[in-house]
Chains A and B, each alone.
Chain A
């Protein structure tokens, strides 16, 4: 899947650490993260809750600052949000005061694109996610899956090179989630962007990833990077997929136990 393995990586993390200041001793969320992501690669961050995988995504997005190390995107150091990196949030992030079309074209509006051209662009983007007829609807008229698709269209509007997805399907039911995964693969192929996808679902990781980055809990470190060399479309019940899922489960088990014990102790 990494056809351009010889090219320089699109995104690099070098010895990245993040420490949250607290009233007690500082909380180390991430420590010594080294990671390269190739152009058009699909990388999944897998780990127990609170392991810092979402924090790493926010650091790459530029919404939080690294405490140590550097993150580079497209050859320049990340110092804040940039339109080369799109982010899709866990919960519904559409503005309720705008129509779906206005939401999708929000980034274009910020860039000063005229209203008529914005509407055209919104319809074209919504067509890509299969909901062009929803352009004049309000977000509260959409289902959870449609809202996340609209959020995807919005993220794609600025043609990002990296799409960051923070557990985007966590609030959806199992059937919708499976449909959305197929759909995301299409969007990924179509856009040519790299994907960084955070989840705590092992099946989701096996269904989507070129590589799965498994995190340890507190402090968040990279425990292992597991390549998923299965052809797409993937059958989650195939022996190969099962074997990979079992392998990831074993890797995660210790971490989940540790995270659970820690949460019990904090309580």
Chain B
């Protein structure tokens, strides 16, 4: 959630951040602050290393774990995975690993979003269906996605399906309940306008309620993006046999701290790019919602 707001959108006037007086474009100013922030963080880390306080084997500073990019990339070649051999170069397999993890997240999030919004709408549209289904969903919702991992492997075995299922399940219950509460919270005026203008129940759902709830559902999706990344890494570490999660486990079992931090950097950068992408989708599809995602007063 904190990362959602980081360095984006408009900064409220009370936040203490001052506007530039030098006429520098705000985009440039923001980019400079990004560089400064990351520079401070990396600099402190490097300083701790330079002073000899941090063991480079356990906490290698950025210049060490980023130095031999090619060396790091070789670990991404899935040569030691049962039944898989490849002739891809180190860099290619790094790319393949990143794409594999990303696709799992995208597939899981898409299925989860569509599935949960559909189920939420059906629950509110068909009273009988809602009465039958809602208690079970409410009961299943608090179960941590991690607890579903064995189930995912029992049912789907090894490969992409269990990882996608894990992302799906991490989103599905939260999103279904959120859809229902958003439907219940749709402005009474909007519903009344629909009724007064002669909308049938079906038209009311399709043309008033769905557009009214989409913006907040998209916010819920964005907030769950980081959770989805967490879950996909766990799934990959355990049962899938490829992806960034497996590299993290490889780093752990070979005590390769450089590889661990390298992968973490990669995961952070990809997660950030995903959020940027989702924000772009939001501003294009949901054009009536202000860019920061916060409702106007």
CB within 8 Å of B: which residues of A?
61-63, 80-83, 85-87, 89, 91, 93, 95-97, 106-107, 109-111, 138, 140, 154-155, 158
Contact = CB atoms under 8 A, between A and B. Distances in A.
Interface of B: 189-190, 192-193, 195-200, 203, 207-208, 211-212, 286, 288, 296
Contact of A86 (B196, B212, B296): B196
A158 B198 CA distance: 9
Given A81-B198, A95-B211, A140-B288, A110 B203 contact: yes
19 contacts: A61-B196, A63-B195, A80-B195, A81-B195, A82-B198, A89-B189, A89-B193, A91-B189, A93-B192, A96-B288, A97-B212, A106-B193, A106-B207, A107-B197, A109-B207, A110-B197, A110-B198, A140-B296, A158-B197
A-B pairs, 3 with minimum CB distance: A107-B197, A96-B288, A97-B211
Contacts of A83: 197-198
A119 B198 CA distance: 19
A93 B190 contact: yes
B289 to A, nearest CB: 8
B207 A110 contact: yes
A80 B207 CA distance: 20
Contacts of B200: 110
Given A91-B189, A93-B189, A97-B211, A106 B197 contact: yes
A106 B198 CA distance: 10
B205 to A, nearest CB: 13
A116 B149 CA distance: 53
A232 B267 CA distance: 72
Given A138-B288, A140-B288, A95 B208 contact: yes
A235 to B, nearest CB: 35
A155 B199 CA distance: 14
Nearest to B203: A110
Nearest to B288: A96
A158 B199 CA distance: 12
Contacts of B208: 95
Contacts of B296: 140
Nearest to B190: A95
Contacts of A154: 197
A109 B120 CA distance: 26
Contacts of A89: 189, 192-193
B189 A81 contact: no
A138 B200 CA distance: 25
B192 A87 contact: yes
Nearest to A140: B288
Given A62-B195, A85-B196, A110-B203, 10 more contacts: A81-B196, A87-B192, A89-B189, A95-B208, A97-B211, A97-B288, A106-B193, A110-B200, A138-B288, A140-B288
A53 to B, nearest CB: 17
A93 B211 CA distance: 14
Contacts of B197: 83, 106-107, 110, 154, 158
A140 B297 CA distance: 12
Contacts of A62: 195
Nearest to B191: A63
